[in-house]
Amino acid sequence: MVRRAARLSAVALAAALAGCGPADPKLSPVTGKVFVGDAPAEYATVVFHPVGPAAPDAVKPRATVGADGSYTLSTHAAGDGAPPGQYRVTVEWWLSGMKKATDPDTPPKNRLPAKYADPAASGLTATVGDGPTEVPAFTLNLKK
């Protein structure tokens, strides 16, 4: 009985320690820019979707585009970067409809074509290296 309890304790301890390692691989700082035509896509949201198998609830690195079109990816904390690897990229640019400023129920509208919100259709890809990575600028157009 004592041996059985000792074995169960050892198994439980091993299982607990197995979860103590780093939760994510090393993150690399990642920067880039997004433009719509020649204009910065200020306030657009950029999301990096890992290529290959990933858990459905996996955290996807993301960023908000600044006034100059630049972004810095975050995975867990602001500006912490992304795991090295291949990504499909999506961009959405949700701005409130201003036609009826007196109507608070006017829903926001994605100003970009729907294809840019779909990782399989956006045509946008990126590779994050083992160190600081600057992704080539994405220039989007409003034509479907």
| Tens digit of each residue's pLDDT (9 = 90 or more) over 101-140 | 556 777 788 999 999 999 999 999 999 999 999 999 999 9
What residue ranges do the domains of the chain occupy?
A: 24-140
At the topology level of CATH, where does 24-140 sit? Immunoglobulin-like (2.60.40)
Q: Is the dihedral of CA 65, 36, 38, 28 positive or negative?
A: positive
pLDDT digits (tens, 9 = 90+) for 36-80: 999 999 999 999 999 988 777 888 999 999 999 999 999 999 999
Q: How many CA atoms lie within 13 A of 130 on its CB side?
A: 0
What's the whole-model pTM score? Answer: 0.77
